[in-house]
């Protein structure tokens, strides 16, 4: 049988792959036509092209794969006609091919609205690698770009503009961002998160004309307003590529799409349609997972296997949009059936969670997650499989009191039919069977054996949990690796870095990893390099998160905060005058923090080195407010001034802060020293806290403030100053070497087998015989301390990286402020 496939996008390629696995070349010959000049590539991660990935990196399979699997691949050739009577297809080059069965995987094109001036120079669509090359070339000539479309595609395009260093504006016709996935509150929070990254959002905007002569000058809106822009990227939706089918007499929908039945057959019994071109039950599916399911159904049918039908597909999705996690599942806004919403919102952390519970309280109907999607996979499974809810459904997004994990139900509670991987339609039962029958023990092995996690990758956490659960059930040791690029835990990577003297991410990746790395492992390794050698952050800034990269916290509106170190809160009048002078000179908002420091808010990126120079010239150092390092050592005035004080808490706090400043750890560290048991410095809520006694100092460890407060545990009583410092040395280094990434000391202790008794045995009693080694290693970090601000101030090359525009020293014009109580604040403070 001769099968011809028109379209070699992601779905067309996946169909060829599935059909070839089910039937050899002696049974079915496959010819696939692609109009682009290269084999199928990953459109889902297209924006990574702007981060350095090449077209080759994005390929789903090289040309050699097609040859090895006896699939005839024809690229750069557009099929222009189908002769249904003769069962042939003709290309624009005049080539003709015969078929027995024809599969249309023509996909979609970018929707381009009919607007006056749409043909001007500087107007692009965001669809193919050729489009991206054109955008990159034109983007070098301009400073500012607008993106038409505030949905998934539009925000992906906005990320690309941001990566190019362009001032970015998003224009959306609807009253909110992502109107199909988010409700008003979720969309507003997403808006605020994006605006904090200096992306300006315009909603409720109907573009009626593109202004300019030959080249674009700006956008005119129906309300009379005007937006200046020298470049426009249109990413406002898709249109099914159905012109070939329509010209061939196949039935199409009134608003586009090739009409198919549950077998994905058109009105011609020898022609199928799959992917974004297919109109099934009046629905066009714009995600890759439904397309893959369609490919599976048609491949099974052509291979003569048990007939599979396509009955629709769940459009739930988890995405990362410009660094912001977003997820929606089931009925996200509770509009399909009567439901009761449960909503959690934390504006300070940029988190919004909504779940919709059925009126009888028995089912989870759907929900929305913005800023934190860690519970997405489990919530989706509960929705899809009708799993029972906890007595208090709010636990699904708030977590049960006293439990570390959200929700309460685990992957083990899912039925065997639960769809774990939606891209490849792989059930829990299929994954479990492969693990048990084939003796799989790593995530990579599971991926290769089942195909799970090879699509969008969203199911990876759940597959990892399933593997862990099964291995533990078999009595096997489960190894927790950092990510798919390193088959090592954080602790093992730290040892490898120290033993092999690796000084850069690339060295470690080349020797111990694979692939190009990801947003998970890069910041982890950056932290490990600093934990091992105190490597200056600017030396590996490109793998850091934004705050670490620019040595300052990015704040609302896109400005940055400057927090100089003020050990123990002790500061001279001269130093106060310097801070006041800097704040006044650069127009910064000033505030005393809860950690006894002074925050200076509202600095633009290019101002930071100049501000740091004035502060470091006066003896100030970086306060590391941006890093996973020691933040503050708070103190009361102790015996120096207080009539109740029994020890000099200020001097000890200064000594502690000066000793451990700059040391990188799995998470931020906070400390305090109280001069008596009245505890004015609140030492028992800190990662390590010290309280004076008549005989010495009591040392407490693993406390935690914040949303899940936890009192610190008593480690040692009445210790002398030297002994206390020795125990803190050991404690900090043991934590640095053994904790998982982004784990505070409280959470680390909660998971530590043996708890505080075991920790006391290791730190105080030296039961493992590693005390001297821990002290030696932390002393090496102390001895190699440097001020990261000073490093930038002394280096013109590093200073060049602190600018908003790659080709200009101008300030970000999108930053806007207003006045409140005599100081400037972001314009949207009230929101």
Q: Count of CB atoms within 10 A of residue 463's CB? A: 24
Q: What are phi and psi of 602, to 5 degrees?
A: 100, 15
User: Could you tell me the two tokens for 539?
Assistant: 């030396």
Q: Which residues contact 220 (CB under 8 A, 6 or more apart)?
A: 207, 208, 209, 210, 211, 226
Query: Is position 423 annotated in a ligand binding site?
Result: no
Helix (H) or strand (E) holding 530: helix 521-533
Crossing angle, helix 129-139 and helix 152-163, to 10 degrees? 40
Answer whether 702's CB lies under 8 Å from 695's CB. no
CA distance 177 to 578: 44
Q: Which residues contact 94 (CB under 8 A, 6 or more apart)?
A: none
Of the candidates 153, 159, 250, 238, the one whose C-alpha atom is nearest the C-alpha of residue 198 is: 159
Residue labelled with tokens 């770009």: 145
Q: Which residues contact 227 (CB under 8 A, 6 or more apart)?
A: 146, 169, 171, 202, 218, 219, 221
Torsion of CA 482, 483, 485, 487, to 10 degrees: 50
CA distance 519 to 521: 6
Helices (H) and strands (E) in the chain, counts: 27, 38
Answer whether 467's CB lies under 8 Å from 446's CB. yes
CA distances from 776 to 181, 351, 620, 699, 765 (A): 53, 41, 28, 21, 17
C-beta contacts of 799-802 below 8 A and 24+ residues apart = 799/609, 801/538, 801/541, 802/550, 802/605, 802/606, 802/608, 802/609
Q: Count of CB atoms within 10 A of residue 511's CB? A: 10
Helix (H) or strand (E) holding 271: strand 271-273
Question: HSE (CB half, 13 Å, CA atoms) of 572?
Answer: 6
Strands (E), 310-382: 317-321, 324-330, 339-346, 351-358, 364-370
CA distance 689 to 683: 4
Query: Is position 724 annotated in a ligand binding site?
Result: no
The DSSP code for 765 is S
Query: Is position 453 annotated in a ligand binding site?
Result: no
Identify the three-state secondary structure at position 100.
Answer: coil
CA distance 274 to 235: 23
CA distance 468 to 470: 6
Query: Pairing relation of β-strands 598-603 and 589-592?
Result: antiparallel
Q: Count of CB atoms within 10 A of residue 766's CB? A: 13
Query: Is position 636 annotated in a ligand binding site?
Result: yes
DSSP 795-813: -HHHHTT--SBTTB----T
Binding residues for [4Fe-4S] cluster are: 636, 642, 676, 680
Binding residues are: 636, 642, 676, 680
Binding residues for siroheme are: 680
């Amino acid at each position: 049988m001769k099968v011809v496939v028109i379209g070699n996008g992601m779905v067309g390629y996946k169909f060829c792959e599935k059909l070839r696995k089910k039937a050899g070349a002696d049974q079915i010959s496959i010819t696939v036509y692609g109009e682009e000049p290269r084999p199928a590539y990953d459109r889902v991660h297209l924006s990574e092209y702007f981060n350095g990935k090449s077209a080759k990196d994005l390929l789903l399979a090289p040309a050699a794969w097609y040859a090895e699997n006896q699939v005839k691949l024809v690229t750069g050739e557009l099929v222009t006609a189908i002769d249904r009577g003769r069962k042939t297809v003709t290309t624009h080059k005049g080539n003709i091919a015969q078929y027995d069965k024809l599969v249309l995987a023509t996909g979609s094109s970018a929707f381009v609205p009919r607007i006056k001036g749409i043909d001007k120079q500087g107007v692009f669509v965001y669809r193919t690698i050729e489009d991206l090359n054109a955008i990159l070339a034109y983007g070098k000539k301009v400073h500012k770009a607008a993106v038409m479309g505030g949905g998934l595609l539009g925000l992906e395009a906005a990320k690309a503009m941001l990566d190019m260093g362009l001032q970015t504006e998003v224009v959306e016709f609807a009253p909110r961002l992502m109107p199909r996935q988010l409700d008003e509150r979720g969309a507003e929070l997403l808006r605020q998160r994006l605006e904090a990254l200096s992306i300006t959002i315009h909603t409720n905007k109907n573009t009626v004309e593109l202004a300019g002569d030959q080249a674009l000058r700006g956008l005119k809106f129906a309300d009379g307003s005007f937006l200046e822009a020298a470049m426009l990227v249109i990413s406002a939706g898709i249109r099914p590529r159905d012109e070939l089918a329509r010209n061939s007499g196949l039935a199409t929908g009134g608003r586009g799409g090739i009409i198919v039945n549950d077998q994905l057959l058109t009105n011609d019994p020898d022609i199928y349609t799959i992917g974004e071109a297919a109109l099934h039950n009046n629905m066009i599916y714009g995600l890759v997972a439904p397309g893959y399911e369609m490919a599976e159904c048609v491949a099974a049918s052509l291979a003569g296997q048990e007939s599979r039908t396509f009955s629709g597909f769940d459009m739930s999705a988890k995405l990362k949009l410009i660094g912001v996690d977003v997820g929606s599942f089931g009925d996200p806004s509770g509009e399909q059936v009567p439901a009761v919403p449960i909503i959690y919102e934390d504006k300070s952390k940029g988190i919004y969670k909504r779940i919709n519970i059925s009126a009888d309280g028995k089912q989870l109907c759907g929900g929305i997650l913005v800023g934190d999607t860690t519970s997405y996979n489990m919530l989706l499974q509960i929705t899809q499989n009708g799993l029972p809810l906890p007595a208090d459904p709010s636990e699904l997004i708030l977590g049960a009191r006293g439990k570390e994990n959200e929700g309460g139900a685990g992957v083990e509670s899912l039925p065997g039919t639960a769809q774990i991987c939606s891209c490849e339609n792989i059930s829990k039962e299929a994954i479990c069977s492969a693990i048990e029958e084939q003796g799989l023990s790593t995530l990579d092995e599971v991926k290769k054996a089942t195909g799970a996690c090879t699509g969008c990758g969203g199911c990876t956490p759940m597959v990892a949990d399933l593997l862990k659960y099964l291995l533990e059930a078999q009595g096997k040791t489960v190894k927790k690796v950092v990510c798919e690029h390193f088959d090592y835990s954080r602790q093992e990577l730290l040892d490898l870095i120290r033993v092999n003297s690796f000084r850069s991410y690339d060295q470690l990746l080349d020797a111990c990893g694979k692939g190009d790395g990801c947003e998970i492992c890069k910041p982890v390794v950056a932290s490990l390099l600093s934990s091992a050698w105190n490597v200056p952050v600017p030396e590996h800034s490109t793998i850091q998160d934004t705050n670490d990269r620019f040595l300052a916290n990015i704040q609302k509106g896109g400005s940055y905060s400057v927090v100089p170190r003020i050990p123990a809160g002790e500061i001279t009048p001269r130093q106060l005058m310097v801070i006041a002078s800097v704040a006044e000179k650069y127009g910064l908002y000033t505030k005393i923090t809860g950690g006894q420091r002074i925050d200076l808010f509202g600095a633009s990126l290019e101002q930071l080195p100049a501000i740091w120079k004035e502060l470091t010239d006066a003896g100030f150092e970086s306060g590391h407010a941006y890093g996973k390092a020691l933040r503050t050592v708070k103190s009361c005035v102790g015996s120096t001034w207080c009539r109740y004080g029994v020890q000099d808490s200020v001097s000890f706090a200064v000594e502690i802060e000066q000793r451990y400043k700059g040391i990188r750890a799995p998470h931020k560290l906070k400390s305090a020293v109280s001069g008596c048991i009245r505890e004015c410095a609140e030492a028992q809520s800190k990662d390590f806290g010290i309280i004076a006694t008549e005989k010495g100092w009591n040392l407490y460890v693993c406390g935690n403030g914040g949303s899940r407060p936890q009192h610190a545990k008593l480690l040692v009583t009445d210790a002398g100053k030297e002994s206390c410092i020795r125990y803190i040395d050991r404690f900090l280094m043991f934590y640095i070497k053994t904790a998982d990434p982004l784990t505070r000391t409280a959470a680390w202790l909660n998971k530590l087998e043996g708890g505080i008794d075991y920790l006391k045995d290791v730190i105080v009693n030296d039961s493992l015989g590693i005390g001297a080694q821990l002290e030696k290693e932390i002393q090496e970090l102390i001895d190699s301390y440097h001020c990261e601000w000073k490093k930038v101030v002394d280096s013109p090359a590093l200073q060049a990286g602190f600018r908003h525009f790659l080709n200009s020293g101008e300030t970000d014009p999108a930053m806007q402020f207003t006045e409140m109580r005599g100081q400037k604040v972001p314009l949207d403070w009230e929101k």
